[in-house]
């Protein structure tokens, strides 16, 4: 075996296993239908190295890829200059010059945003890593359309080369290049720990996972980390972005966003938080989201509102009926959100008790979904009947303008001084 190794060199598996150790990644064994792969995480991204076979030609390709959040739809492609690329330029396929003459001479660079292309390749480290590779075709691969398994806004940094790459140094350079380019594309090459704008961008990225042979995208943890960082940084500008994830299906993220809003302390967060007071789903710590919201609202000075709502959710409506503070619309939203199978009686009754006629369209939709033959449907139907009865009551007539002279007055009381009343314009030719 040692003689064969000295003759043919180390196997791909040996080299790729060594690569996995050097980049702090994981080697995945292959099978008949799935090639082996190396995966490594760098900040928010997963870089995957594997091979791909063309079923028509039988050719094998080595590829690296890393999905990333790309809402701006920035595209670029870079490859070495050849005779054919020079021919393409002569035919009008001009590339973008980035302002570094030797690099511009050696590489063809295309993109849909020239200014951003120049900023990307203004990085000396990125240019050096690319220069160290004898063959390169690096691009952003779009993933759009109904058949895409990628979430909206997620594209892929992609490298592909003919043959199986077994040069450990070249593979390590490719991993380093991917890490640098991703940092530049997503974090503008900055240390982002204290950058509010970058954390807001991270939070806007999709959650969930993408699997293609292996897990190649994991969006939940970076978003949770971003929410916690925004709370630590305390900038009110992050409030709307944090509030936008309060209905996310990742309850761990929701809990962190709630805590962040409480730490920031901006009163503009109160309304969105009140809407979630009816959310009984469990967060990752086992506590209902509602409890996290209640804690946050107390920190924001809304303890009276919280106590009134929670009492009503338990069947005691007196405090909520007496509550005369703000956020009625949000309280109604939270009560509607509280209506769940076998737990609708109290929130439905609370809506009737506070005369929430504006909730009728929502309640009718809930009744349609649940039907009227179960406890939830019956409670909702009863609330609808009570609110419809109230809505049909005659309204007080609007107050009309009353002539001062017609008002009742005590006997002997002088008439009001008409000279002090506002005068209308005199008609032409009328009495003076």
Q: How far is CA 345 from the centre of its chain?
A: 34
Name which of 50-54, 159-163, 198-202, 402-406 the model is least confident about: 402-406
Average pLDDT, the chain: 87
The pLDDT assigned to 86 comes to: 55
Name which of 99-108, 152-161, 189-198, 335-344 the model is least confident about: 335-344
Pair 149, 109: CB distance under 8 Å: no
**Cα 119 to Cα 76: distance, rounded to the nearest angstrom:** 12
Q: How far is CA 273 from CA 207, 289, 290, 376, in A?
A: 21, 10, 9, 25
pLDDT at 407 over 90: no
HEC profile of 72-108: CCCCEEEEECCHHHHHHHHCCCCCCCCCCHHHHHHEE
Segment 111-138 shows an average pLDDT of 95
The pLDDT assigned to 55 comes to: 84
**Cα 40 to Cα 26: distance, rounded to the nearest angstrom:** 6
Segment 45-73 shows an average pLDDT of 93
The pLDDT assigned to 213 comes to: 81
pLDDT at 93 over 70: no
Beta bridge partners of 62: 51, 161
pLDDT at 391 over 80: yes
pLDDT at 344 over 70: yes
The pLDDT assigned to 85 comes to: 57
pLDDT at 355 over 60: yes
The pLDDT tens digits for 227-268 are 999 999 999 999 999 999 999 999 999 999 999 999 999 999
The pLDDT assigned to 343 comes to: 72
Beta bridge partners of 49: 38, 64
Pair 283, 292: CB distance under 8 Å: yes
Closest by CA position to 121, among listed 68, 166, 78: 78
DSSP-derived 3-state class of residue 209: strand
**Cα 251 to Cα 257: distance, rounded to the nearest angstrom:** 10
The pLDDT assigned to 34 comes to: 83
Pair 109, 121: CB distance under 8 Å: yes
Q: Extract the tokens encoding 184.
A: 């530049």
Rounded to 5 degrees, φ, ψ at 16 are -70, -35
The pLDDT assigned to 415 comes to: 56
Q: How far is CA 206 from CA 76, 143, 249, in A?
A: 22, 14, 11
Closest by CA position to 355, among listed 325, 326, 388: 388
């Amino acid at each position: 075996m040692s003689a064969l190794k000295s003759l043919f060199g180390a196997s791909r598996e040996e080299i790729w296993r060594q690569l996995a150790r050097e980049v702090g990644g994981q080697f995945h064994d292959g099978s008949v239908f799935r090639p082996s792969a190396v995966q490594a995480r760098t900040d928010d991204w997963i870089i995957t190295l594997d091979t791909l076979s063309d079923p028509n030609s039988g050719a094998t390709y080595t590829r690296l890829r890393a999905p990333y959040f790309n809402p701006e739809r920035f595209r670029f492609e870079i490859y070495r200059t050849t005779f054919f690329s020079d021919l393409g330029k002569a035919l009008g396929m001009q590339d973008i010059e980035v302002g570094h003459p030797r690099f511009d001479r050696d590489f063809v660079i295309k993109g849909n945003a020239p200014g951003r292309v120049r900023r990307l390749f203004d990085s000396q480290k990125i240019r050096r890593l690319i220069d160290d590779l004898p063959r390169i075709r690096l691009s952003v691969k779009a993933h759009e359309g109904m058949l895409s398994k990628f979430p909206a806004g997620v594209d892929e940094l992609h490298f592909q080369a003919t043959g199986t790459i077994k040069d450990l140094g070249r593979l390590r350079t490719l991993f380093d290049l991917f890490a640098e380019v991703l940092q530049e594309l997503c974090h503008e090459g900055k240390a982002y720990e204290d950058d509010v704008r970058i954390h807001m961008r991270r939070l806007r990225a999709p959650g969930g996972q993408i699997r293609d042979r292996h897990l190649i995208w994991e969006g939940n943890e970076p978003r949770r980390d971003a929410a916690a960082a925004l709370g630590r940084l305390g900038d009110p500008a992050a409030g709307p972005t944090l509030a936008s994830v309060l209905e996310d299906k990742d309850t761990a993220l929701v809990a962190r966003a709630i805590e962040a809003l409480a730490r920031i302390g901006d009163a503009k967060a109160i309304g969105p938080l009140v809407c979630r007071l009816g959310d009984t789903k469990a967060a990752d710590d086992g506590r209902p989201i509602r409890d996290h919201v209640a804690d946050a609202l107390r920190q924001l000075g809304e303890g009276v509102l919280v106590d009134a709502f929670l009492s009503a959710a338990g069947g005691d409506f007196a405090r909520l009926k007496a509550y005369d503070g703000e956020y009625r619309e949000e309280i109604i939203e939270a009560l509607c959100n509280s209506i769940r199978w076998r737990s609708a009686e109290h929130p439905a009754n609370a809506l009737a008790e506070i005369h929430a006629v504006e909730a009728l369209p929502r309640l009718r939709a809930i009744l349609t979904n649940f039907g009227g033959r179960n406890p939830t449907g019956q409670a909702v139907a009863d609330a609808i009947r009570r609110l419809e009865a109230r809505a049909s009551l005659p309204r007080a007539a609007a107050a009309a303008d009353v002539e001062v002279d017609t008002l009742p007055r005590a006997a002997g009381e002088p008439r009001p001084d008409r000279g002090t009343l506002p005068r209308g314009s005199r008609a032409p030719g009328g009495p003076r």
